[in-house]
Amino acid sequence: MGFSEEIAKFAEHAKGNGDLVVRKTVFDIGTRLVNRTPVGDASYWKSKPPPGYAGGHARANWSHSEGELNTKEFKAIDGGAPEANISIRRISRTLKKNAAGKVHFVQNSVPYIQALEDGHSRQAPTGMVAITKVEFQEIITAIAKGLK
């Protein structure tokens, strides 16, 4: 089955649930990106970290926006503790009920996010976005199967 047939099949299955499908898709993508973002561990560094350094700034800077990119860098730290998940909560809060038919961005504005995506961290040697992009069809299929 070709790509256009897959899309048509998915659209038929998701009919009437467009907003829900978009919200779930954006949330799932955002969650995967956050969870895959490395949290800096200065014990592996060749040089000393700057004074006051705490890992987790990149993880805490994922956000979602509709229609245009959000280039804001947040002054937050998310070291990965279960009670943290600052970015996941931020993404969830920005997902509106009428999500279908709009352009959605899940972005990170820390200046070194591209270096992390390019494998700068041993915790994410193949990046975060590239892996999630490969999983996109799997994400959509799982959401479609979950629809009633």
Q: What residues are paired with 63 via a beta bridge?
A: 107
Please report, for residues 7, 17, 62, the alpha-carbon distance to residue 130 in angstroms, rounded to integers and kept in the order given.
21, 27, 15
pLDDT at 131: 97
pLDDT, tens digit only, all 148 positions of the chain: 666 666 666 656 656 688 899 999 999 999 999 999 999 988 888 898 888 888 999 999 999 999 999 999 999 999 876 656 899 999 999 999 889 989 999 999 999 999 999 999 999 999 999 999 999 999 998 998 887 6
pLDDT at 18: 85
Q: What residues are paired with 107 via a beta bridge?
A: 63
Report d(CA 58, CA 112) in Å as an integer: 8
Report d(CA 45, CA 129) in Å as an integer: 24
User: Strands 104-108, 62-66: parallel, antiparallel or unpaired by DSSP?
Assistant: antiparallel
Q: How many residues would you count in the chain? A: 148
